[in-house]
Amino acid sequence: EPEVTQTPSHQVTQMGQEVILRCVPISNHLYFYWYRQILGQKVEFLVSFYNNEISEKSEIFDDQFSVERPDGSNFTLKIRSTKLEDSAMYFCASSAGPIYGYTFGSGTRLTVV
Amino acid sequence: AQRVTQPEKLLSVFKGAPVELKCNYSYSGSPELFWYVQYSRQRLQLLLRHISRESIKGFTADLNKGETSFHLKKPFAQEEDSAMYYCALKMDSSYKLIFGSGTRLLVRP
């Protein structure tokens, strides 16, 4: 069964540093998403991406965040100048269309120290 | 505001007992509802979506628009059903999923 792959599985970074979280969506999917889950809290939507542009973003997704699909297979989330409160599990997901439900990756645990 | 409520943080049942995981939503439009499951240390997996009206691993869920609910049910729980279960809502005008806080199901032998 096809999978969404995320790397790294765990990243520790110092406050103020930039991080890039990487995802390889399922190859024939057209919609891509990032979610995050702060420990003990709900899974929260960050951004959706379709046709090489952001289709929707949450209020969490401010200028500190950006997404890119640099080469047709990878889908990245960049966090500039990380803060302690960015520590969370970040999930990438992809879908063939919004009504089909998503396939999630196994997540990247980001720890900002 | 749109919201998904899963009132139980933990549901503990014995093997063979019926299970009902509750999910209520608030949305005035046409909702699409999903159930996701997360087994220990694994990824979120799609379990059910209401539009397909399917039964996966013995689980079913019916959308009740009058009660704004999408409860997940299984007549006979198995130990391997122990996991975290998340209900999620998609609004017809949006790409995103709104998740509930999840219910941990523990099936005891």
Could you report the per-residue pLDDT of B24-62, keeping only the tens digit for each? 999 988 889 999 999 987 889 989 988 777 778 899 998
pLDDT in tens, A37-63: 998 889 999 999 999 999 999 999 999
Query: Which residue does chain B place closest to A105, by CA atoms?
Result: B43
CA angle A84, A89, A92 (to 5 degrees): 125
What per-residue confidence (pLDDT) applies to B92?
Answer: 85
Cβ contacts from A onto B, under 8 A: 50
- What is the average pLDDT value for chain A, to the nearest integer? 93
Q: What is the pLDDT of residue B81?
A: 97
Structure token pair of residue A99: 């009504």
Query: Chain A closest CA to B62's CA: distance in Å?
Result: 17
pLDDT score for B55: 77
* Chain B residues within an 8 Å CB radius of A56: 94-96
Q: What is the CA radius of gyration of chain A?
A: 13
How close, in Å, is residue A111 to chain B by CA atoms? 17
Rounded Cα gap, residues A109 and B55, in angstroms = 32
Confidence of residue A33 (pLDDT cuts 50, 70, 90): very high
Place of tokens 């941990």: B104
Chain B positions in Cβ-Cβ contact with residue A58 (cut-off 8 Å): 96
C-beta atoms of B96 and A48 within 8 A: yes
For residue range B66-95, list pLDDT tens digits in order. Answer: 999 999 999 999 999 999 999 999 988 888
Q: For A65-99, write each residue's pLDDT tens digit.
A: 999 998 878 999 999 999 999 999 999 999 998 77
Place of tokens 């765990």: A10
A4: Cβ contacts below 8 Å, ≥ 6 apart = A23, A24, A25, A26, A92, A93, A94, A103, A104, A105, B43
Nearest to B36, CA basis, from A37, A38, A53: A37
The answer to whether B45 and B77 have CB atoms below 8 angstroms apart is: no
- Flag whether residue B99 sits within 8 Å of chain A, measured between CB atoms: yes
Closest to B89 (Cα-Cα) out of B35, B38, B21: B35
